[in-house]
Amino acid sequence: MKSLILSLVALLCVACNNSLSDYIGDEPSYNPIPYKEIWYTTTDRKIVNPSWPLSYDGSLVYNEYKNGKGIMAFSKDVTRIGEDMFIGHMTLKSVSLPNSVTTIERRAFAGCGIQEISLPVTIESIGANAFASCTSFKTFTVPPKVTVLEEGVFITCEKLTSITLPANLTKISQGAFTSCHSLKSLTLPNSLQEVEPQVFSSCLALEKFEGKFASKDGRCLIIGDRVVAFAPAGLTEYTIPEGITTIGESAFSYNSELEHVTIPEGVTTIEKSAFFYCFEIKSITIPSSVTRMEQYCCKAASSSDVIIYCKPTTPPVAYVDKEGSSWDGFSAGSRFPITIYVPTESVDAYKSAEHWSNYADNIQGYDFNK
């Protein structure tokens, strides 16, 4: 009887242009969609067409919407969702892809109104900005074969509250989750090796990290001795964990709640844009161990008075990454008032140091030993 059932299933699979392996076993899981088709729904119950004719292989044989479902049929198996294939289709509500798909190319669904997408486990790569500005997503599971989250892949997915990352993920690229304003927590797999800058910038609801690289309090991602990201939700004051040497590029940027930050002794470098546009910041304490501060490192742009307590007796090197570039390490001016307190005996050194001299009127002496 079992062999008869398997034979019948096999015949059905052939009829649907799918192989028996797609229906039996754990991976790939059961998926009824023929290899030459894409199924979808829309909010207006009308068809959507691919935005770009080079975004798929072969030709579009038919595209119709019946009984509450749209079906696109192609002359060749659908192995990729090409660049810009559905970009900007705000009426697109849900999409189901066949197990023949292995690649979703850049901007494939950018700016769509998608609320739900069924991705087969056969997908191996998802391109940059593939789901950028999909503002209706609430949850998302990245397929298990994906090893890299490309640049800006979920940028400005404003309603995304949770995402499940695959066990084999090795890299999260720049801006992957930037402005995911509803994302509350994230569990990082043990396979993860690299987190680029600005991955979590402006993730205002982010409360904690779990798993690989998470600090004990869950508020920071720390790779080696470098803080690379921060979960800001609900915090107005924060003391960065001890044992680190570097505040990474954009690690605390675009924070709308943090008012006071203390950097621990032992930190030697504050990288580019580390505290860039922290809109409510009132004070930052820089330890005596800091020897290098990069461009825009403390350019907080708060509308209230900002105090920088800078403890090093020797002015840290104001590093710029291009010759002739502006350091612009702090916000300053009538709109962004700032006071930089330095050791009393070092006032003249700070006022004459390269790039620090631009803030001479903001620098005052302070006795840090009292």
**For 187-228, what is each residue's pLDDT tens digit?**
999 999 999 999 999 999 999 999 999 999 999 999 999 999
pLDDT score for 7 = 41
Which residue ranges form the domains of the chain, and what is each CATH number? Answer: 21-108 (no CATH), 137-214 (3.80.10.10), 215-370 (3.80.10.10)
pLDDT given for residue 30 in this prediction: 62
Residue at 178: amino acid letter? T
Query: What are the residue ranges in the chain where pLDDT is below 50?
Result: 1-28
CA distance 117 to 120: 10
Question: What is the value of pTM for the model shown?
Answer: 0.87
Q: Which residues contact 28 (CB under 8 A, 6 or more apart)?
A: 21, 22, 99, 120, 121, 122
Are residues 118 and 97 in contact, defined by beta-carbon separation less than 8 angstroms? yes
User: Residue 317 and residue 117: Cα distance in Å, rounded?
Assistant: 49
Sheet of 237-239, strands arranged across? 237-239, 260-262, 283-286, 306-310, 338-343, 363-366
Which distant-in-sequence residues (6+ apart) come within 8 Å of 7 by Cβ? none
Distance between CA 305 and CA 78 in Å, rounded? 58
Q: What is the pLDDT of residues 94-110, one digit of tens each?
A: 999 999 999 999 999 99
CB environment 69-94: b (16+ within 10 A), e (fewer): ebbbebeebbebbbbbbbbebeebbb
pLDDT at 332: 73
Residue matched to tokens 């019948």: 8
Cα(68)–Cα(8) distance, rounded to whole angstroms? 29
294, 300, 320, 336 from 362: Cα distances, Å? 19, 15, 21, 11
Q: Kindly state the DSSP code that residue 136 receives in the 8-state scheme.
A: T
Three-class SS state of 334:
coil
90's CB contacts (< 8 A; 6+ apart) are 111, 112, 113
Cα maximum dimension of the chain:
92
Other beta carbons within 10 Å of 183: 24
